Every structure is written in C-alpha cells, then in structure tokens.
C-alpha cells in the first residue's frame, strides 16, 4: 500500500505545484524529483533505510539453482551494497538513479544540480572504483 500512497502523493504534489514548473527540465524529470524527495522524506520519517538495503539484497528464489549459488549471489550483493552505502550522498544518488531509476545522464545531472557530463564521468569513475573494491573483497 505504501507504493500507492507515495505515487498518489507524488502526483498530488505535482498538480499542486505545477505553477513552479519552469521548463528547465522535462516534466518527467521534474515529477521524478518530487517522487525522490517524497521517498527520502518517507525513509527518514520511518527509519526505513536498513530495511530497504535488505530488500534490494533479496533475490527471487526462482532464479537460484543451488544453495552455493544463492550464497554467492547474496555475498556479492551485500558487498556491492556495502560499497554503495559508503559513498557520499551525491555519488550514491548518481549510482542509484542510473542503475535503479534507469535515468539518462542528462536527467541525473538536472536532479543533482550538475551537468550531464559531470553525471556521466562521475558514474563511470564510481563504477570503476566499486569494481576494484569488489575484486579486492572477492
């Protein structure tokens, strides 16, 4: 039910504040930023962040063929989430918006208040950094 509530609140806020939309970004990016802010507010309010990390780490059982494979996937996911959680707020947001939000670098740049190129280069550098860290951990 929470997803429906957050979706409702996002569109309510968008309709209520449509006058503040200045056309600097696309309408979908503007609405996504509203949703992002409401989601952050929800996590802070409910101290939900640890639960979110656990849910991201869960893999559907239908994709697992053996207990060893499950252990390996869970360990890799934990290591990845650990490294992402250690990043500063802007870096973590870039990674999550690109991977989980599937946003373009232009949209990410708008959302974080930086250029498209900054978002692209930072994501690439972070990806390489996390890959190196994961190689060391494995």
* Residue found by looking up tokens 């692209």 in the block: 120
Domain 61-138 has CATH 1.10.10.10: yes
- CB-CB contact of 112 with 93 (8 Å): yes
Distance CA 80, CA 119 (A): 20
Tell whether the model's pLDDT for residue 66 goes beyond 70: no
Higher pLDDT, 39 or 71: 39
- CB-CB contact of 13 with 21 (8 Å): no
Tell whether the model's pLDDT for residue 80 goes beyond 90: no
pLDDT on residue 71: 59
Tell whether the model's pLDDT for residue 121 goes beyond 70: yes
Higher pLDDT, 120 or 76: 120
Tell whether the model's pLDDT for residue 48 goes beyond 60: no
Q: What is the mean pLDDT of the chain?
A: 78
- CB-CB contact of 108 with 97 (8 Å): yes
Tell whether the model's pLDDT for residue 47 goes beyond 60: no
Phi, psi of 17 (to 5 degrees): -110, 20
pLDDT on residue 49: 47
The answer for residues whose C-beta is within 8 angstroms of residue 86's C-beta and 6 or more apart is none
């Amino acid at each position: 039910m929470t997803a429906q509530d957050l979706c409702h609140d996002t569109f309510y806020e968008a309709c209520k504040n449509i006058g503040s939309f200045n056309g600097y970004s696309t309408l979908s990016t503007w609405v996504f930023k509203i949703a992002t802010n409401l989601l952050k507010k929800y996590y802070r309010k409910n101290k939900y962040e640890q639960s979110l990390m656990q849910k991201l780490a869960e893999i559907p059982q239908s994709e697992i063929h053996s207990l060893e494979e499950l252990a390996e996937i869970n360990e890799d996911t934990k290591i990845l989430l650990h490294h992402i959680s250690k990043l500063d707020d802007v870096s973590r947001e870039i990674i999550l918006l690109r991977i989980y939000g599937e946003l373009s670098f232009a949209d990410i740049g708008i959302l974080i208040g930086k250029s498209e190129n900054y978002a692209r280069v930072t994501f690439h550098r972070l990806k390489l950094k996390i890959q190196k860290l994961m190689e060391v951990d494995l």
